[in-house]
Amino acid sequence: MKKHTRVLSLLMTLVLALGLLPMAAFAAYPKAYNVSFQLKDGTVIDEYDNVSYVSSVTVPTHLDVETWYCEALDMEVATGETVPADFGEDKNVVFVADRVLPESFTLNFCLPNGVEVDSAVLAPNNFMSFFTVPMVDDTSVNWAADDVTLTGGQTITGQDLDLDYVWYEKNPVLNFDVTSEAVYPDAFTVKFIDNNGDLVREQTVGARNFFTPVTVPAGTWFCPRQNAVVGEGDYITGQTLDLDYTWYSYHPVVEFHAN
């Protein structure tokens, strides 16, 4: 009888232990989670704090991103999807946006005064279509748009942009600004060009010479580089050009075209 009682006691202990194991494991799981949706560089797009395990989160929309991946959980979710917040043992859950393969790149290069120097559309799968990054005042300047940096005179293709950076848009538009510091020129060569493309007048003036004006031919003339209009009789010197505008060369060629 004692033997049977002992066996029964052991069986009851075993049953209780087996019953408590799932409860203990469940108790070890967080009751709430901190869920974050980020880009590969750590930029947070959206986050949920203290989300109950019986609740859910909605995957955010960001540009053209379609899917997000959590490496710790080996779990992929889709943009706009509602995901149950039962994420297991780790309280902090991070989903990272999957990159998008662009279809085209639009590049715009503008000066600080708003003048567009150049633009281009490049296809990421065409490594045979080359584009030369524009120079300014015949000088190699640095350009930046978001995380992309380029140098004047550099030759690139759409494939270079596709492989060297992470994208979240199908058709990124990159507006480049000059990041190089401007300089104070020593002199200017000023040219006046008529509607036929013929040179009407050319004159070199010192940048600090206030007493020797530029002789403006008859009519009005437009300088695309500076978005400036001058006319016959205007008193313009090298000092005027030096102080009123931004330059990146120590001897710029300033072209005025018949307006």
The count of other CB atoms within 10 Å of the CB of residue 11 is 10
pLDDT tens across 39-88, in order?
999 999 999 999 999 999 999 999 999 999 999 999 999 999 999 998 99
Percent of the chain with pLDDT over 90: 80
Q: What is the rounded average pLDDT of the residues 225-246?
A: 93
Asked if residue 158 has pLDDT above 50, the reply is yes
Cα–Cα distance for residue pair 21/27, rounded to 1 Å: 10
For the full predicted model, state whether its pTM sits above 0.75: yes
Q: What is the DSSP string of 19-68?
A: HHHHHHHHHHS-SEEEEEEE-TTS-EEEEEEEEETTSEEEPPP-TT--EE
Strand order in the sheet with 32-38: 44-52, 32-38, 92-97, 67-70, 75-78
More confident residue, 127 or 150: 150
Cα–Cα distance for residue pair 60/53, rounded to 1 Å: 19
What's the pLDDT score for residue 126? 86
